[in-house]
């Protein structure tokens, strides 16, 4: 490769490469719905495609672009695909991707006010916009994180700062049996023993049982333990179940406990009237996790936690460093609100999306996802070989094969797993499997602005055909 004065190519070449990269991305998006969704492969198969020795002399950007689009993309799992119905999809949008390009191209530092005041200021605006979007008070504090898992960690760290380090010995926190594993990971990372997290039983719709919660809290207090933190789900990962938010908020207010709502999956349902009604009470949380890289259609790498108590948050994270003594103490230095110092302009994808498209347009797509999830449920229910685990409370359709006469549960479950594998091998759609009440089930999620009614009909037709 030709020597350059800096690592950058000359201006004309930069333009040419930039246009070439965008052209490739647009081509990829243009045919997304007709590409295969995903494929299984072994480490050696994928290494054969992408592994190379460390280049001593570079191949040049153009060759690297070609390599990526020819060798990596064809075998990628496409979470942007309109028929990616597995896990909780993280589909991005072109506006979100453009924001990320702005962040990568201008490289703001968003850890401190002095390091990047305009983009920090933009993050404060976006935090307010997100709060307004989901109906949460916007006069508290918040921070954009790399995802929902870190948002849950930040919330728990703030609660620990509020309730004291004594909770490390005898603190108890409560999350439903269906709650996300990131809550346990957060507790472990913050130094809590495994039995500090109590998994509260759920009802027949897989929602936390508040009576049970109340009983356990009283029993734990009577045993000299310190209940301090309750995490409820605004849309569980497994089935989209919404825990009783108002009732738990009343309980936490009465017993003076920190209420955290994990709305990483479901929070942006509040863009719509239907979602707001389902999530009534979410605004009463002390802390709230939402995940813009899920139902707000920005590229992966953006979660968010909003809190009422800015002091608890800053107590949890601020540390004095001599080399940062020039920072203005009265402004928001995001390094005091989370675990990172150097922080990227992850705000820019959310800002670009919300500013370019506006709340109403996003709401239209969330509404459509609700409608298409109900359609999927109806189409699946219409085939009497299947049964729904529950009516979808959000946009997860959990279902399973009905047991055939005399069939063991093991054999029935094997047919669920086999169907998932067959759809994966077929490549036209992707689902995932889980366990509910100890029984295997399939999960079909609709959460993508690119998914049309035709996609849902096509996916369910494949499921029926391959079953
Ligand atoms: C309810 C819930 N909480 C937390 C998370 C973790 O979020 P992330 O994957 O962004 O770390 C997820 C991810 O699917 C989730 O569904």
Instruction: Give one DSSP letter per residue of 278-313, joined into a string.
Output: HTTTGGG-SEEEE-HHHHT---SS-EEEEES-HHHH
User: What's residue 442's pLDDT?
Assistant: 98
Testing ligand 1's pocket by substitution, the residue of 180, 239, 298, 305 carrying the most ligand atoms inside 8 A of its CB is 180
Task: Report the domain count for the chain.
Answer: 2
DSSP 33: G
Question: Do residue 52 and residue 121 come from a single domain?
Answer: no
β-pairing, 303-307 vs 141-145, is: antiparallel
Please, which pLDDT band fits residue 53 given cuts at 50, 70 and 90? very high
Question: Do residue 152 and residue 46 come from a single domain?
Answer: no
Q: For 175-185, what is the mean pLDDT?
A: 97
Owner of token pair 């460390």? 54
DSSP 327: S
CB 229 within 8 A of CB 190: no
* Domain end (from 19, 54, 76): 76
* Domain end (from 19, 50, 76): 76
Q: Is 287 within a domain?
A: yes
Q: Is 191 within a domain?
A: yes
Question: Do residue 199 and residue 105 come from a single domain?
Answer: yes
Please, which pLDDT band fits residue 330 given cuts at 50, 70 and 90? confident
- In this predicted structure, the answer to whether residue 322 has a pLDDT above a threshold of 90 is no
Question: Do residue 58 and residue 175 come from a single domain?
Answer: no
Question: Do residue 245 and residue 168 come from a single domain?
Answer: yes
- In this predicted structure, the answer to whether residue 455 has a pLDDT above a threshold of 90 is yes
Q: For 67-92, what is the mean pLDDT?
A: 97
Question: Do residue 168 and residue 69 come from a single domain?
Answer: no
Among 401, 440, 442, CA closest to 86: 442
* Closest ligand 1 atom number to CA of residue 291: 10
Question: Do residue 65 and residue 97 come from a single domain?
Answer: no
- In this predicted structure, the answer to whether residue 126 has a pLDDT above a threshold of 90 is yes
User: What's residue 325's pLDDT?
Assistant: 86
- Measured in angstroms, how far is the CA atom of residue 442 from the centroid of ligand 1? 19
- Ligand 1 — pocket residues by CB below 6 A? 88, 147-149, 152, 180, 182, 233, 237, 262, 264-265, 291, 303
CB 78 within 8 A of CB 84: yes
Residue nearest to atom 16 of ligand 1 (CA): 237
- Measured in angstroms, how far is the CA atom of residue 174 from the centroid of ligand 1? 17
Question: Do residue 338 and residue 393 come from a single domain?
Answer: yes
- In this predicted structure, the answer to whether residue 200 has a pLDDT above a threshold of 90 is yes
Q: For 112-138, what is the mean pLDDT?
A: 95
Q: Is 226 within a domain?
A: yes
- Measured in angstroms, how far is the CA atom of residue 264 from the centroid of ligand 1? 5
Q: Is 6 within a domain?
A: no
Q: Is 49 within a domain?
A: yes
- In this predicted structure, the answer to whether residue 115 has a pLDDT above a threshold of 90 is no
What range defines the domain where residue 463 resides?
90-467
- Measured in angstroms, how far is the CA atom of residue 289 from the centroid of ligand 1? 9
User: What's residue 324's pLDDT?
Assistant: 84
CB 429 within 8 A of CB 442: no
Q: Is 429 within a domain?
A: yes
Question: Do residue 362 and residue 295 come from a single domain?
Answer: yes
Taking the complete model, does pTM exceed 0.95, yes or no?
Answer: yes
Please, which pLDDT band fits residue 50 given cuts at 50, 70 and 90? very high
Q: What percent of the chain has pLDDT over 90?
A: 96
Q: Helix, strand or coil for residue 251?
A: helix
Question: Do residue 110 and residue 25 come from a single domain?
Answer: no
* Closest ligand 1 atom number to CA of residue 265: 16
Q: Is 422 within a domain?
A: yes
CATH number at residue 134: 3.40.640.10
Question: Do residue 47 and residue 133 come from a single domain?
Answer: no
- Name the token pair of 271: 């863009």
Q: Please, is 103 exposed, middle or buried when counting C-beta atoms within 10 Å of its C-beta (0-12, 13-18, 19+)?
A: buried
Q: For 34-53, what is the mean pLDDT?
A: 95
Question: Do residue 64 and residue 100 come from a single domain?
Answer: no
Please, which pLDDT band fits residue 55 given cuts at 50, 70 and 90? very high
Q: Is 5 within a domain?
A: no
- Measured in angstroms, how far is the CA atom of residue 119 from the centroid of ligand 1? 26
| pLDDT tens digit sequence for 247-282 | 999 999 999 999 999 999 999 999 999 999 999 999
* Half-sphere exposure at residue 168, Cβ-oriented, CA atoms within 13 angstroms: 9
């Amino acid at each position: 490769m030709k020597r350059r004065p800096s690592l950058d190519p000359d201006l004309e070449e930069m333009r040419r490469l930039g246009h070439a990269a965008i052209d490739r991305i647009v081509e990829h998006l243009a045919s997304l719905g007709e590409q295969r969704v995903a494929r299984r492969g072994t480490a050696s198969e994928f290494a054969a495609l992408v592994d190379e020795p460390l280049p001593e002399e570079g191949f040049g950007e153009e060759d690297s672009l070609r390599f990526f689009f020819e060798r990596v993309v064809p075998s990628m799992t496409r979470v942007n695909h309109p028929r990616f119905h597995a896990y909780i999809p993280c589909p991005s949008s072109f506006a979100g991707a453009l924001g990320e390009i702005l962040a990568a191209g201008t490289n703001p530092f968003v850890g401190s006010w002095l390091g990047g005041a305009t983009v920090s200021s933009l993050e404060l605006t976006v935090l307010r916009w997100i709060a307004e979007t989901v109906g949460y008070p916007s006069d508290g504090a918040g921070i954009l994180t790399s995802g929902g898992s870190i948002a849950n960690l930040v919330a728990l760290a703030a609660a620990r700062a509020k309730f004291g380090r004594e909770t490390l010995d005898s603190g108890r926190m409560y999350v439903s049996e269906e709650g996300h594993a990131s809550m346990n990971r957060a507790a472990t990372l913050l130094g809590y023993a495994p039995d500090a997290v109590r998994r509260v039983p759920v009802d027949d719709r897989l929602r936390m049982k508040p009576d049970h919660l109340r009983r356990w809290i009283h029993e734990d207090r009577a045993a000299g333990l310190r209940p301090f933190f309750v995490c409820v789900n605004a849309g569980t990962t497994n089935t989209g179940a919404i825990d009783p938010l108002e009732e738990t908020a009343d309980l936490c207010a009465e017993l003076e406990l920190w209420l955290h709502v994990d709305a990483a999956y479901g929070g942006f349902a509040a863009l719509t009237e239907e979602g707001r009604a389902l999530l009534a009470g979410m605004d009463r949380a002390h802390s709230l996790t939402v995940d813009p890289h899920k139902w707000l259609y920005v590229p992966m790498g953006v979660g968010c936690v909003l809190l009422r108590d800015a002091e608890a948050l800053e107590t949890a994270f601020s540390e004095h460093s001599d080399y940062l003594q020039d920072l203005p103490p009265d402004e928001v230095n995001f390094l005091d609100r989370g675990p990172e110092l150097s922080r990227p302009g992850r705000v820019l994808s959310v800002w670009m999306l919300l500013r370019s498209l506006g709340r109403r347009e996003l709401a239209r797509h969330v509404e459509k996802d609700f409608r298409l999830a109900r359609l999927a449920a109806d189409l699946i229910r219409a085939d009497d070989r299947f049964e729904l685990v529950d009516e979808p409370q959000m946009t997860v359709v959990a279902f399973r094969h009905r047991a055939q006469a005399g069939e063991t549960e093991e054999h029935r479950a094997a047919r669920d797993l086999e169907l998932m594998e067959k759809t994966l091998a077929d490549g036209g759609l992707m689902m995932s499997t889980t366990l509910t009440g100890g029984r295997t089930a399939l999960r079909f999620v609709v959460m993508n602005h690119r998914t049309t009614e035709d996609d849902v009909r096509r996916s369910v037709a494949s499921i029926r055909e391959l079953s």
